[in-house]
Amino acid sequence: MFMGEYQHNIDNKGRLIVPAKFREHLGEAFVLTRGLDQCLFGYPVNEWKSVEEKLKALPLTKKDARAFTRFFFSGASECELDKTGRVNIPSTLVDYAALEKECVIIGVSNRIEIWSKTLWEDYFSQSEDSFSEIAENMIGFDI
């Protein structure tokens, strides 16, 4: 399980240190893809396969299913950690997530998310006031 929030800088070659606590769960190779809210999602290979199976089960006849599957898979890239624990993020994903210097890497249960620090702070401050309301809406999910 991934949890916690860490800050690291991305260099001009797209290399970002992955927190040590996340490395052991990600494994040597993992999948990075476009996430929602303009961040990146990172999945260990076994989790990616589970997500892949769920997306493959979506009906091809539904326009939204096709669009989401395209969005998710076209941005996907298998990545590896180097000897120092860095991942080289493809430039298309760097651009999508607007990653510049300061980044935030968070653990979200079965995946990590990589955010531009600015976008993360904006998202968090905009959502902070509604967390209680969001929690109330989650009651039906047995949380």
- Model confidence pLDDT, tens digit, residues 47-64: 999 999 999 999 999 999
Return the closest-CA partner of residue 25 out of 126, 143, 105, 124: 105
For position 67, what pLDDT does the model report? Answer: 95
Domain count, the chain: 1
Q: Give the pTM.
A: 0.92
66 within 8 A of 74, measured Cβ to Cβ? no
Residue that has been written with the tokens 């976008």 in this structure: 119
Sequence-separated (6 or more) residues with CB below 8 Å from residue 69: 55, 58
In the structure, how many helices (H) and strands (E) does the chain have?
6, 8
Pick the closest to residue 44 from 93, 108, 92, 100 (CA basis).
108
pLDDT of residue 138: 75
- Structural domain for 80, as ranges: 2-141
- pLDDT at site 50: 96
pLDDT at site 142: 59
Q: Which residues contact 26 (CB under 8 A, 6 or more apart)?
A: 18, 42, 44, 81, 112
Per-residue pLDDT, 105:
98
Residue 43, domain CATH: 3.40.1550.20
> Which segments in the chain show pLDDT lower than 70?
140-143
Would you state the pLDDT for residue 134? 75
